[in-house]
Amino acid sequence: MALRGETRTRVVETARCLFRTQGYHATGVNQILAEAAAPKGSLYFHFPGGKQQLAAEAVTAGALQLRNVIDAVVERSADPMAASRAIGDLLADHLVESDFRNGCPIAGVALDASDSDVVRQACNDGFSSWLQSLTDYLTRSGIEPESASDLALLAISSLEGALLLARTERDAAPIRRVADRIAKIVAQEMKS
């Protein structure tokens, strides 16, 4: 018999994967529980707020997971330009490996469930954590804080759009092209 924490973790992880590939509305609670091998009563036991609470926690987990991976890539990079390209490669490779199914861990839920305050807040918090992490890195790299914040917003927004285009075109080239352009913009900013 699974421990309570194990069941909860399995349900969140399953929901995270399904929401990322199918979106919020196309993913049903019964599917999540079945794929997590969790009893039906476990949803409201672990998530009294129902599907909205589960979605918020899944988004939070997915955003944190991707932020940690990107933070590690950034810290291993020689400079912000190399970091931009490495992030683009990471996102592109992951998308291709998933047969163009796994996009952003936040976007699909944000588009589908923006009418839920709890879900919208989790999405906002996830994006905010990415923006802050990237802003901090660019600032540590010598870019003025206001410019670093603007560049982080440009990078996240552009990569989100590139992920969407790449999924619809079934071609990772838009991600790599956008990451390369961001690297060039960052290089110009570092010269000024």
Q: Are 162 and 174 in contact (CB under 8 A)?
A: yes
The size of the chain, in residues, is 192
Would you list the domain boundaries of the chain? Answer: 55-191
Secondary structure element (H or E) that encloses residue 107, with its range? helix 107-112
- 4 confidence band (pLDDT: 50, 70, 90): low
- Here the tokens at position 149 are 């914040």
pTM for this entry = 0.91
- Can you tell me which residue has the tokens 């960052």? 186
With respect to CATH, is domain 55-191 assigned 3.50.50.60?
no
State residue 3's pLDDT score. Answer: 52
Q: Mean pLDDT over all residues of the chain?
A: 95
- Asked whether residue 5 carries a pLDDT value surpassing 80, the answer given is no
Q: Is the pLDDT of residue 182 over 60?
A: yes
Which tens digits make up the pLDDT trace of 15-48?
A: 999 999 999 999 999 999 999 999 988 898 999 9
The predicted-structure confidence for 63-97, as pLDDT tens digits, reads as follows 999 999 999 999 999 999 999 999 999 999 999 99
- The pLDDT tens digits of the residues spanning 150-162 come to 999 999 999 999 9
Indicate the pLDDT class of residue 1, thresholds 50, 70 and 90.
very low
Rounded to whole angstroms, how far apart are CA atoms 152 and 182?
Answer: 10
Dihedral (C-alpha) 62, 68, 74, 75: value to the nearest 10 degrees?
A: 180
